[in-house]
Amino acid sequence: GALVLYHTAPHGFTEEHRRLVSRISGQIAAAVNNAVVFEQTREDSVTDPLTGLPNTRFLYSHAGRELARAARLKSSVTLMLLDLDNLKPINDTFGHQAGNRALCAVASVLRGAIRPYDICVRYGGDEFIVLLSDFGNEQAEAKRLELHKAVESTPFSVGDLLRVRLTISIGAAVFPDDGDSYEALLQVADRRMYEEKAARKQSRAERAVHRS
């Protein structure tokens, strides 16, 4: 920043003016620095340091406001819980640095696949939550399939040659049909996500038996 003063008369400022401005500018600089540090601290408190997505602290406050708005306007909100299926094998085989890159790749895909005013949150570990405003059941199902395709088509390589296919399991719950609170929606989405994960494992096992 800059502090600029003008005088109507040439050479109108005295040495006393300069001393006063120097003292004031120092105080202003300290206040501006404190404001910047405060804002950065506030932003850090609601941001996941790995992916740059909002974290659960931000989600809790945002979800409450969004559900209250939907109840007032009699609209729908979709909550999706997403789990990166193969993070543990990636970590175990290629190391946690590769796993972190996989999480960041998925985070980027999810953030790019939703509208600017919707949110995608790093929920913890290998899980994400997407909250979609004015989203009903049919839209939720279409978005679920879209996110599956977007993640699975994301190029992710370990080293120069080995490509790893990323997949996710998704459970969706819609307000108010599946629950009237964040906790109720999360419980339904969590159950549906694990049901989908189990069904996908079963399908892969059946295909393997069939090939053998």
Count of beta carbons in the 10 Å neighbourhood of residue 17: 12
Question: Residues 126, 134, 160, 177: which is the catalytic one?
Answer: 126
Give the max Cα distance, the chain.
95
Is 126 among the catalytic positions? yes
Q: Show which residues are catalytic.
A: 126
